[in-house]
Amino acid sequence: MLSNPARTTSELRARLQQMTQRGPLGSGGSPALCSGHEALDALLPGGGWPLGALTELLSDQCGIGELELLLPALQSLARGGRCLVWIDPPYVPYAPALVQRGLPLERVLWIRTQRPQAALWAAEQALRCSGIGAVLNWSEHIVDRSLRRLQLAAECGQTWGILHRPASAFHTSSPAALRLQLQPLTEGLEVHIKKSRGGRAGGRLHVPLRRPVTLHADGSSDALAVHSAAGAAA
């Protein structure tokens, strides 16, 4: 088992470093989930998204790559056998894209309540469950008490609660461990760390995102691709 002691030691050292980096307020020793974006991990306490806590994504726009930002972490949760829950998203979570992006469908749960209170209730239940990895929520107006309940539920289940909220929500207080404001850029996202429990707020960084176009191995981009199924069913 200890065939490579050097590696084991270096692993342990890395873990120790990770543990000591977490500040004195480091969310009670809750683990962090590598975000897959180096520049972002470097700014987050513990080196990643806070598990067992809420993360707020503050933006007035939908479709700027907000989910793309979370995707590497969601993939690793799904690989670890934990489920991902979409609660009342303002769109249909698109199955072919989920599969393409490495999120197995048997790990995806889509909850449609269309009632704000029911959505919050469902989010709380899901966050409390250790079989769940992440809960994505789009509730527009959440009162402080509900936020606290969600935060407690996430702590209890050691799950990751993600709240998509309008930018104006920043002016109200929140128990979320992490609050990020997102702005679209031509080639990615500008992420402004508004609050980071156990870390430093105020950081701004540019996170490059995968472009929605395919580049083939030879470097050429997609030419006219015709999917004609004529006769396929004949």
Partner 1 sequence: MLWLCIRLPALRHEALAADEDAALARLSAWAYQWSSQVCHRRGDESRASLLWLELAASGALFGEPTALLPRIERELREMGYSHTCALAPSPAAAALLTQGQTLRCLLTQAELSSGLAPLPLGWLELPSETRDALRSAGLSRIGEVLAMPRAALARRFGPECCDYLARLVGELSDPQPSFRLPEIYRARCVFDYDLHDTQGLLFPLQRLLQEFQGYLRARDRAVLRFNLELEHVRDARGSHAQSCLTIGLSSPTREAARFLMLVRERLHNLVLSAPIRALTLCADAFTTPAIVQADLFGAAEQRSDELAQLLDRLRARLGVEAVQGLQLLADHRPERAFASVPGVPGVTGVTGVTQALSGTPSTSSTPFATCAPRPLALLCPPQRIEAPAALLQGPERIASGWWDGGDVVRDYYPARGGDGSRQWVFHDLREDAWYLQGLWV
Nearest-angstrom CA–CA distance, 47 and 22: 8
Pick 173 or 220: Cβ nearer partner 1: 220
Q: Which is nearer to partner 1, 21 or 68 (CB)?
A: 68
Classify 188 as helix, strand or coil: strand
Confirm if 52 and 159 have CB atoms less than 8 A apart.
yes
Q: Which is nearer to partner 1, 17 or 117 (CB)?
A: 117
Give the nearest distance from C-beta 173 to partner 1 in angstroms: 27
Measure the CA–CA gap between 197 and 176, rounded to whole angstroms. 8
Q: Using alpha carbons, list the distances in angstroms from residue 132 to 165, 225, 233.
A: 21, 38, 39
Q: How near is the Cβ of 200 to partner 1 at its closest, in Å?
A: 27
Q: Which residue's CB is nearer to partner 1, number 126 or number 191?
A: 126
Q: With respect to partner 1, which residue has the nearer C-beta, 22 or 149?
A: 149
What gap in Å lies between CA 214 and CA 136, rounded to an integer?
Answer: 27
Angle at 16 between CA 14 and CA 22, to 5 degrees: 105
Residue 43: CB minimum distance to partner 1, A: 23
Q: What are phi and psi of 24, to 5 degrees?
A: -65, -25
- Whole-number minimum distance, CB 228 to partner 1, in Å? 5
Cβ-based neighbour number of residue 175 at 10 Å: 15
Provide, rounded to whole angstroms, the least separation between the CB of residue 61 and partner 1. Answer: 6
In the complex with partner 1, the residue whose CB is nearer, 3 or 186, is 186
Q: Which residue has the tokens 């769109």?
A: 91
CB of 136 to partner 1, least distance (A): 10
| Residues lying near partner 1 in the complex (CB under 8 A) | 61-68, 81-83, 89-101, 105-113, 118, 121-122, 125-126, 128-132, 183-186, 211-214, 221-222, 224-230, 232-234
Report the SS3 class of residue 53: strand
Q: Between vectors from CA 149 to CA 120 and to CA 180, what angle results, nearest 5°?
A: 80
